[in-house]
Amino acid sequence: AQSVTQLGSHVSVSEGALVLLRCNYSSSVPPYLFWYVQYPNQGLQLLLKYTSAATLVKGINGFEAEFKKSETSFHLTKPSAHMSDAAEYFCAVGYSSASKIIFGSGTRLSIRP
Partner 1 sequence: EPEVTQTPSHQVTQMGQEVILRCVPISNHLYFYWYRQILGQKVEFLVSFYNNEISEKSEIFDDQFSVERPDGSNFTLKIRSTKLEDSAMYFCASKKMGVAANTGELFFGEGSRLTVL
Q: Which residues bind partner 1 (CB under 8 A)?
A: 32, 34, 36, 42-46, 49, 51, 90, 94, 96-106
If the CB atoms of residues 26 and 80 are measured against partner 1, the closer one turns out to be 26
Would you give the distance in Å from CA 102 to the centre of its chain? 13
If the CB atoms of residues 13 and 47 are measured against partner 1, the closer one turns out to be 47
Interatomic CA distance for residues 40 and 50, integer angstroms: 25
Q: How far is the CB of 53 from partner 1 (least distance, A)?
A: 9
If the CB atoms of residues 17 and 51 are measured against partner 1, the closer one turns out to be 51
Q: Annotate 65-84 with three-state secondary structure.
A: EEEEHHHCEEEEEECCCCHH
